[in-house]
């Protein structure tokens, strides 16, 4: 690994981790196009580190909300129609959103690792894109939106988002944010509120997953690798921070269908440069 590689992968991670395009697919494709093996122990450790950088970015973006979840920020926000919500999002919502995926990931860890390959990712990109297009169409034409803002989310909706998140756990390349945002929209949650909740529950679930993986990888932190790890972490953090801010600002202009079309293009690139 060199500095340029660390910078490029940090940028790719920061851009793709929280938008519904599959960071896993992008990391595999980038690694292969750059001509190195992304399955070595050091590279796997590096990917965990830059993922932690992205997690820190989202935690800073949502720091007020995180404080309110633990009762340290009592400031209330009005809903989109100017009416104070009857209840605020709480820790139970978050637990309902993350528990299904964590349970599945714990018991199916070895099986999930066996699926990390280019063929699986290509089909996941296509299937995820179709799923997102369907969710957006169904949300707009068949459902009455009952949760316009994050604080309007019910426990049932939070749990359903958690169930949909399982798809991304079992199918690398499907995209965690893609499955949760689309799942929220299929559950009567607005696009914006689904994205907000997807980003929020990313913090505990990614911390749990990355922390667990680090138990096997901490020994690869040494004088030869620490510089590259730090560079990748910082780059991923900065890029993810601005990407999330930009995404939430432009969310009304960038639909899930736009991301789905991009996924189809990425799948075609995979097919041309990796599978053939």
With b for 16 or more beta-carbon neighbours within 10 A and e for fewer, the 209-229 pattern comes to bbeebeeebeebeeeebeebb
Residue 44 has a pLDDT of: 83
- Residues 123 and 184: their CA atoms lie apart, in Å, by 22
| pLDDT for the residue numbered 162 | 97
- The neighbour count for residue 3, using CB atoms within 10 Å, is 11
Burial of 167 (0-12, 13-18, 19+ CB in 10 A): buried
pLDDT confidence band for 127 (50 / 70 / 90): very high
Cβ burial 39-72 (10 Å sphere, 16+ → b, else e): eeebbebbbbbbbbbbbbbbbebbeebbebbeee
pLDDT at 37: 67
> What pLDDT sits at residue 73?
62
Give CA–CA dist 254/247, Å, rounded. 8
87 burial via Cβ count (<10 Å: 0-12, 13-18, 19+) = exposed
- What pLDDT, on a 0 to 100 scale, did the predictor assign at position 111? 84
Which has the minimum average pLDDT: 6-10, 143-147, 208-212?
208-212
Residue 151 reports pLDDT greater than 70: yes
User: Which runs of consecutive H residues, i.e. helices, occur in the chain?
Assistant: 3-16, 23-34, 41-61, 63-69, 91-107, 109-113, 118-141, 155-170, 176-186, 191-217, 226-249, 256-273
Give me 28's structure tokens: 């595999």
Residue-averaged pLDDT of the chain: 88
Report the C-alpha gap between 25 and 31 in whole angstroms.
Answer: 10
pTM beyond 0.85: the answer is yes
């Amino acid at each position: 690994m060199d500095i340029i590689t660390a910078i490029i992968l940090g940028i790719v991670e920061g851009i793709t981790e929280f938008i519904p395009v599959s960071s896993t697919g992008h990391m595999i494709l980038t690694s292969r196009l750059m001509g190195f093996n992304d399955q070595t122990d050091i590279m796997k450790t590096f990917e965990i580190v830059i993922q932690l950088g992205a997690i820190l970015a989202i935690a800073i973006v949502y720091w007020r909300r995180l404080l309110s979840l633990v009762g340290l920020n009592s400031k209330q926000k009005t809903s989109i129609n100017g009416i104070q919500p009857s209840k605020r999002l709480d820790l139970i919502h978050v637990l309902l959103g993350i528990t299904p995926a964590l349970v599945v990931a714990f018991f199916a860890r070895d099986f999930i690792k066996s699926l990390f390959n280019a063929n699986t990712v290509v089909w996941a990109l296509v299937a995820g894109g179709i799923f997102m297009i369907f969710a957006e169409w169904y949300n707009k034409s068949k459902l009455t939106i009952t949760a316009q803002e994050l604080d309007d989310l019910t426990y049932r909706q939070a749990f359903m988002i958690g169930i949909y998140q399982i798809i991304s756990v079992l199918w690398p390349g499907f995209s965690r944010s893609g499955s949760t945002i689309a799942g929220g929209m299929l559950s009567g949650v607005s696009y914006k509120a689904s994205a907000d909740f997807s980003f929020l529950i990313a913090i505990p679930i990614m911390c749990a997953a990355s922390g667990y993986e680090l138990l096997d990888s901490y020994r690869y932190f040494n004088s030869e690798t620490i510089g590259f790890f730090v560079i990748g972490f910082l780059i991923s953090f900065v890029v993810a921070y601005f990407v999330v801010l930009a995404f939430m600002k432009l969310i009304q202009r960038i639909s899930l269908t736009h991301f789905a079309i991009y996924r189809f293009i990425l799948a075609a690139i995979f097919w041309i440069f990796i599978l053939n």
